[in-house]
C-alpha cells in the first residue's frame, strides 16, 4: 500500500454505507473498517437512520460516485424492507462496485472478463487455490443459488473447469447430489443442514453459512460429523468470513488502480 501511494500518489478509499441498526451488519461494517486500518486503506462510514428514504440513499450513492478520493462503494445488505436493494446496487458505478453486484460486473463474471469478483466466492476460490486443490475435472456441488454467493460461486468453479451442480430448495434428494461432490460449498443459510452422511469420503467442504443460534454461531455444515469424512473443511466462524473481507480489500485496491 505504501508503494502504491509513493509511486503513483494513490491512497485507496472505501465508502461503506449502513442503514439502520441491524446488529450483524454493524459487526460486519466494524470488521471491514478494522481491515482497512490494518492495511492502509482510507475508509469512510456513512451510518444512516432506519427511516432513510430511497431518494436520500440514492443521492448519497451518486455523491460517492462523483467523489474522486473514493474508489470503492459498499452498501451493507440487507437494507430495511422499505428500500429497494436492486435500485441501490444499480446506482453504484460499476467501476466502484467492489462487491461486484452491479449487472455490468455480473455480466463480466459470466463471460470470464471481469474487473471484480464477489468477495465471498472469490475468498472461497482463494482458499481452494492456497490449499493446493485442483478444481479441474472435479464434481462440484454448490448448495444455494443466491445472487451474492451461490450463482457466482458456481460460475467461478466452472471457470476453473469444474463440473458444477447447483442445489436449492426444489432439488430432489439433496443428500444423493451432495454425496457426488468432490468439492461441496454450502451457502444456503440453514443451520447445520449438511450432515456427515451427505458427504463423500475425502471431499473438500467449504461452509459459507453463518447462523446465530441462542448459544453459538454455526455454519450450514454440521462440523463434527462432516470433518470425520472430509479431507479439508472450513470452520465457522474463522473460515470463509476473514477471506471475504480480504477480497474486499483486494477489490478496493484494484478499483483505485483502474
Cα separation, 226 vs 73, in Å, equals 37
Cβ count near 110 (within 10 Å)? 14
Residue pair 93/65 in contact (Cβ under 8 Å)? The answer is yes
Peptide bond connecting 237 to the previous residue in cis, omega within 30 degrees of 0: yes
Whether 99 is catalytic:
yes
Cα separation, 103 vs 120, in Å, equals 17
Which of the residues 5, 22, 33, 76 is marked catalytic?
A: 76
Beta-sheet strand order (sheet of 42-48) = 42-48, 13-19, 72-75
Which of the residues 97, 99, 207, 220 is marked catalytic?
A: 99
Q: Which three cell numbers stand for residue 173?
A: 434428494
Q: Show which residues are catalytic.
A: 32, 76, 99
Amino acid at each position: 500500500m505504501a508503494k502504491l501511494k509513493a509511486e503513483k500518489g494513490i491512497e485507496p478509499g472505501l465508502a461503506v454505507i449502513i442503514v439502520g441498526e441491524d446488529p450483524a451488519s454493524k459487526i460486519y461494517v466494524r470488521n471491514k473498517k478494522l481491515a482497512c486500518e490494518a492495511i492502509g486503506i482510507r475508509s469512510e462510514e456513512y451510518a444512516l437512520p432506519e427511516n432513510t428514504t430511497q431518494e436520500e440513499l440514492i443521492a448519497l450513492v451518486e455523491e460517492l460516485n462523483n467523489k474522486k478520493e473514493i474508489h470503492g462503494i459498499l452498501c451493507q445488505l440487507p437494507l430495511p424492507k422499505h428500500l429497494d436493494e436492486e435500485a441501490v446496487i444499480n446506482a453504484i458505478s460499476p467501476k466502484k462496485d467492489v462487491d461486484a453486484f452491479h449487472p455490468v460486473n455480473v455480466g463480466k463474471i459470466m463471460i470470464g472478463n471481469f474487473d471484480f469478483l464477489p468477495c465471498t466466492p472469490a475468498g472461497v476460490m482463494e482458499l481452494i487455490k492456497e490449499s493446493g486443490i485442483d478444481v479441474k475435472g472435479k464434481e462440484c456441488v454448490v448448495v444455494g443459488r443466491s445472487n451474492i454467493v451461490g450463482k457466482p460461486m458456481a460460475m467461478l468453479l466452472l471457470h476453473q473447469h469444474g463440473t458444477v451442480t447447483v442445489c436449492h430448495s426444489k432439488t430432489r434428494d439433496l443428500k444423493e447430489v451432495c454425496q457426488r461432490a468432490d468439492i461441496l460449498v454450502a451457502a444456503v443459510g440453514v443451520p447445520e443442514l449438511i450432515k456427515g452422511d451427505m458427504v463423500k469420503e475425502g471431499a473438500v467442504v467449504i461452509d459459507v453459512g453463518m447462523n446465530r443460534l441462542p448459544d453459538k454461531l454455526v455454519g450450514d455444515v454440521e462440523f463434527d460429523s462432516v470433518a470425520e469424512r472430509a479431507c479439508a473443511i472450513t470452520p465457522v466462524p474463522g473460515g470463509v468470513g476473514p477471506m471475504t473481507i480480504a477480497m474486499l480489500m483486494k477489490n478496493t485496491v484494484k478499483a483505485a488502480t483502474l
